[in-house]
Amino acid sequence: MRMVGRVASDHERDQLAAQLMTLPVNELVDVLRRVLPQYTEEGNGLRTSLVLATATEYEDEPDGIDVTLVAWPDRDYYDGGLGPDQGLWEDGDCGKCGTEVSSNAKRAFCPVCGSGCGLT
Ligand SMILES: [Zn+2]
């Protein structure tokens, strides 16, 4: 359950955002991995997760947008590291829940069900 603290000012949120914008994408993902799951809501037979996603638009397919959820790198597999410092180029489907995911890492965890995913 998320602990709700005091309300931050616009200035404080700007400062936090400016700090986050200095991070490479794999470090930003690692920060959000620590934050977004705290906003999961459960009850009445459902669970809603706050996740990070990518949306890819194609110039030659104006109606086609691919949305994939960003999977969290398997830090144990990378000896405590975050996986390669590259874009979110590794893709695949979660073997457990079938959600399409992408990550900077080939070994990552599904942000919905937490299952390990092997991406290519
Ligand atoms: Zn899953």
70 C-alpha vs ligand 1 centroid, how far in Å?
A: 11
| Cβ atoms of residues 106 and 120 within 8 Å | yes
Q: Mean pLDDT, to the nearest integer, of 38-49?
A: 95
Overall average pLDDT of the 97-109 stretch: 95
Residue 3: predicted pLDDT:
58
Q: Report how far ligand 1's centroid is from the alpha carbon of 83 (Å).
A: 19
Residue 4 included in any domain? no
Please check the confidence at residue 1 and state whether its pLDDT lies above 60: no
Number of independent structural domains in the chain: 1
The domain of 63 spans 10-118
Phi-psi region of 83 (alpha: psi -120 to 50; beta: other; left: phi over 0): left
Sheet holding 107-109, edge to edge: 72-73, 107-109, 116-118
> How many whole angstroms from 3 Cα to the centroid of ligand 1?
26
